[in-house]
Amino acid sequence: VGHINALVWTLFRGKETEDSPETALLHGMNVFVKHGLQGRQHSDHHHHTDIEQMYFVLRGRGQLLIGDDKVDVQEGTAVYMPVNVPHQAFNDGDYWMEHLIVGCPLDEIREGTPAVRDWRDITPVIEEHKAIAWPLLTREGEATTTDGGVLQRMHSVTRYAVQGRQTTDWQVGEDLEMVYFILSGHGAIESEDDQEMLTEGTAAYVPPNTFHRFINQSEGWLEYV
């Protein structure tokens, strides 16, 4: 349990974490967790002095207080939370609201701009590795999204979809660690010397400079962020 009322599933943590070494894989990011907030509950009101965060709503709907603004969020909404911006999650419905939280420590502390993006409002693109992509959040100075980039140290947040029985081309994050979370479907993620099965709710960590690809083993779509 964290932030008063949220159930917390720790998927990955920073390498300096002493407990749970099997999840302590992250180099740049320091946390990749799933939160569940029960109906009619809210988290605490807090801020972070040296960590930028990204929220991605997996299920349900609710509201986020960001500074002085309260915004509606639902499944598929991505939210960027800069340092020193007070925030709080509210679930005003009767059902659970589940969301991912990704944290990344900053080497240089400076003000940022909060952002709220819904994948339904973004024009999809076909990426070189054959996945359909919805770029939700990008780094400052990169105009992939309609209102420019906001991330300071994190590189990007993107929603992907791979058609049934299709395999993406090989891809690599040069000097970038990558973490994926499966939204729906099942398949596999393959590296040059390993293959891991993927189902809804699976998180996969890919170290920097590691070639990998996705294999959709079902008739339906394989969707991930």
Q: Would the pLDDT of 216 be above 90?
A: yes
With bands split at pLDDT 50, 70 and 90, how would you rate the model's confidence at 84?
very high
Asked whether residue 62 is assigned to any structural domain, the reply reads yes
Give the domain CATH number at 84.
Answer: 2.60.120.10
Total structural domains in the chain? 1
In a domain, 19, yes or no: yes
**Residue 166 near residue 178, CB atoms below 8 Å:** no
For residue 2, being part of any structural domain is answered with no
Q: What is the mean pLDDT of residues 1-26?
A: 88
| 200 assigned to some structural domain | yes
Instruction: Give 110-143 pLDDT, tens digit per residue.
Output: 999 999 999 999 999 998 788 999 999 999 987 6
Average pLDDT of the chain is 94
> Which domain covers residue 143, as residue numbers?
7-224
Instruction: Burial-class residue 187 by CB neighbours within 10 Å (0-12, 13-18, 19+).
Output: buried
Mean per-residue pLDDT, 89-114: 96
In a domain, 26, yes or no: yes
Residue 145 has pLDDT above 80, yes or no: no
Residue 108 lies in a domain: yes
pLDDT of residue 17: 75
More confident residue, 217 or 3: 217
Residue 176 lies in a domain: yes
The pTM of the full predicted model, rounded to 2 decimals, is 0.95
